[in-house]
Amino acid sequence: MKLLFLDQTGKSGGAELCLLDIATAYQNSCLVGLFEDGDFRQRLEQRKIPVQVLAEKAIAVRKSSGAIAGLLSLGQLLPLIHRVAGLSREYDAIYGNTQKALVVGAIASTLSRRPLIYHLHDILSPAHFSRANRRIAVWMANQARLVIANSKASRAAFIEAGGNPALVEVVYNGFEPEAYAVEVETNELRSSLGLTGRFIVGHFSRLSPWKGQHVLIEALQYCDETVSAVFVGDALFGEQAYVQQLQQQVQQLGLRDRVKFLGFREDVIPLMKLCDVVAHTSIAAEPFGRVIVESMLCGRPTIAAASGAAVELIDPGVTGWLTQSGDAKALAGAIESCRKFPTEAAQIAAFAQQQACQNFQLTQTNAQIHQHLQNRLSPVNYVEKAN
Ligand code: UDP
Ligand code: GLC
């Protein structure tokens, strides 16, 4: 099967890391087309996945922008659409991995008459997208042969926004558990970060208001003095005002000695292993939340905000802890209970690791995606469904 994958960004966010693993399975028969250059291109090249940067300049539509901005940007998109349509004639399908990739892919697929696949990594809700952008996304996605939703939560929001339920299959992100199961010597890392003797709460997300880093900072003031927070991740999509806000919050609450911002790191696994607890604090529904599963695979006690897919990934009290989104006191309570009852926390984390190893295998994810693609792209099935 020959696939033309499309992704709007050159940065390595969760949707791109997911695509990296999927495209690896098609490395001899695919092309990944990016709409901007960045470190994601290098990662694809390291895996020997064919990649091309297709757009000459970045496309300007924010998630919150309205219909007019969306339509105006269509003008900017025309050369790109033309290029994608031309390229796609060599492939069995166009596989859009992001919203702008969906728009470009849907129009190109009409021109080249190649089927469209959409991998939905977003929750199409008002908290995440303007009404106009939700409408455009649903309209385009309903042209697809298959919509792969990264969770039941993203599937439900898609249908709620007008998406055709018959198109959707839920496939969770997959991981290679062996990579997370390795023993890591963390004492040196702990001391190099000045964290010896501290109870470390790790937060692994890009810095963005909806990822709720501010909730963990607020929670720290209700935790024991020995608790420190380590933030791993950078503002990938221009959220500089939020970065400043976080720094001011740390200053105002007098928490400078208890908070560290490490920026974007590639050594997520050793950093997770270093943590006594990993906290996920999104204040809007999380579409999937790779970091939640990664933390469980690392055998770390995991506390997540109870909305979106987090409630599908964590069974509270069994494989982790769920606290109400935005509730700093409840988060502090869960952190404190892990600190005070480490044996119980370790037992839950060990069971979560075992469950996550079984439930989020990359081999299973890739097999499911391949099967869905075969089912939906096969001419026989398509004709039968159309009739
Ligand atoms: N990540 C990373 N380095 C960082 C912070 C995060 O490699 O400094 C990775 C993290 O391990 C996870 C991904 O980025 O695999 C983020 O995916 P997630 O689904 O949690 O959130 P997204 O940012 O895609 O909404
Ligand atoms: C997006 C979502 C995130 C999800 C990732 C992979 O980046 O924000 O929740 O884990 O895609 O599907």
Q: Tens digit of pLDDT for each residue in 340-353?
A: 999 999 999 999 99
**Per-residue model confidence (pLDDT) at position 359:** 97
Task: For ligand 1, say whether the CB of 268 is within 6 Å of any of its atoms.
Answer: yes
Distance 257 CA to ligand 2 centre (A): 31
Assess whether the C-beta atom of 13 lies below 6 angstroms from ligand 2. Answer: yes
Q: Which of 147, 150, 173, 205 to mutate to test the pocket of ligand 2 (most atoms within 8 A of CB)?
A: 150
Q: pLDDT tens, 288-318?
A: 999 999 999 999 999 999 999 999 999 999 9
Q: Would the CB of 14 count as within 6 Å of ligand 2? A: yes
Q: Per-residue confidence at 66, pLDDT binned at 50, 70, 90?
A: low
Residue 111 is given by DSSP the state H
Cα–ligand 1 centroid distance for 291 (angstroms): 6
pLDDT at residue 382 above 60? no
Nearest-angstrom CA–CA distance, 20 and 10: 12
What spacing in Å lies between the alpha carbon of 286 and ligand 1's midpoint? 12
**Ligand in nearest proximity to the CA of 63:** 2
Helix (H) or strand (E) holding 122: none
C-alpha 67/C-alpha 62 separation (Å) is 11
What is the residue whose two structure tokens read 């935005």?
A: 326
**Domains 3-174+362-386 and 177-359 fall in the same CATH topology:** yes
DSSP string, 143-192: TSSEEEESSHHHHHHHHHTT--GGGEEE----B-HHHHHS----HHHHHH
pLDDT at 76: 77
Enumerate residues 6+ apart whose C-beta is below 8 A from 378.
Answer: none
Q: Does residue 121 have its Cβ closer than 6 Å to ligand 2?
A: yes
SS3 202: strand
Indicate whether residue 232 lines ligand 1 (CB < 6 A): yes
Cβ-based neighbours of 188, under 8 Å, separated by 6 or more: none
Residue 298, ligand 1, Cβ within 6 A: no
Q: What is the DSSP string of 17-35?
A: HHHHHHHHTTTTSEEEEES
Task: Determine the Cα–Cα distance for residues 191 and 274; give it in Å rounded to an integer.
Answer: 11
User: Which residue out of 16, 18, 120, 281 has the highest number of ligand 2 atoms within 8 Å of its CB and is therefore the one to mutate?
Assistant: 18
CB distance 150 to ligand 2 below 6 Å:
yes
Six-digit token string for 310: 């987090």
What is the best residue among 211, 230, 290 to mutate for testing ligand 1's pocket, by most ligand atoms within 8 Å of CB? Answer: 290
Residue whose CB lies within 8 A of the most ligand 1 atoms, among 99, 176, 268, for a mutation test: 268
3-state secondary structure of 227: strand
The predicted pLDDT at position 194 comes to: 93
289 touches ligand 2 (CB under 6 Å): yes
Asked whether residue 158 carries a pLDDT value surpassing 50, the answer given is yes
Determine the pLDDT at residue 215. 98
Q: Indicate whether residue 108 lines ligand 2 (CB < 6 A).
A: no
Sorted by where each begins, the domain ranges of the chain are: 3-174+362-386, 177-359
Residue 174 token pair: 């997959």
Q: Is the pLDDT of residue 68 over 50?
A: yes
Q: Which tokens go with 370?
A: 């391949």
According to DSSP, the residues that pair with 361 across neighbouring strands are: 175
Spatial strand order in the sheet of 302-305? 259-263, 227-232, 199-204, 277-280, 302-305, 321-323
- pLDDT for 262 equals 96
Whether 344 and 362 have beta carbons less than 8 Å apart is answered as no
The tens digit of pLDDT for each residue in 239-297 reads 899 999 999 999 999 999 999 999 999 999 999 999 999 999 999 999 999 999 999 99
Distance 144 CA to ligand 1 centre (A): 27
Classified by CATH at the fold level, domain 3-174+362-386 comes out as Rossmann fold (3.40.50)
Which ligand approaches the C-alpha of residue 14 most closely?
1
Kindly state if the Cβ of 301 falls inside 6 Å of ligand 2. Answer: no
Determine if the pTM surpasses 0.75.
yes
User: Confidence class of residue 64 from pLDDT cuts 50, 70 and 90?
Assistant: low
Give the span between the Cα atoms of 161 and 139, in whole angstroms.
Answer: 10
Question: How many alpha carbons fall within 13 Å on the CB side of residue 55?
Answer: 22
Q: Is 205 in the pocket of ligand 1 (CB under 6 A)?
A: yes
Query: CATH classification of 177-359 is 3.40.50.2000, yes or no?
Result: yes
- Ligand 2 pocket member 175 (CB < 6 A): no
> Which residues touch 231 (CB under 8 Å, ≥6 apart)?
203, 207, 213, 216, 246, 259, 260, 261, 262
Which residue pairs, CB below 8 angstroms and at least 24 apart, start in 11-15? 11/38, 11/39, 11/40, 11/236, 11/237, 12/38, 12/39, 12/40, 12/43, 13/206, 13/236, 14/121, 14/173, 14/288, 14/290, 14/291, 15/97, 15/98, 15/119, 15/121
- CA 275/CA 351 separation, integer angstroms: 17
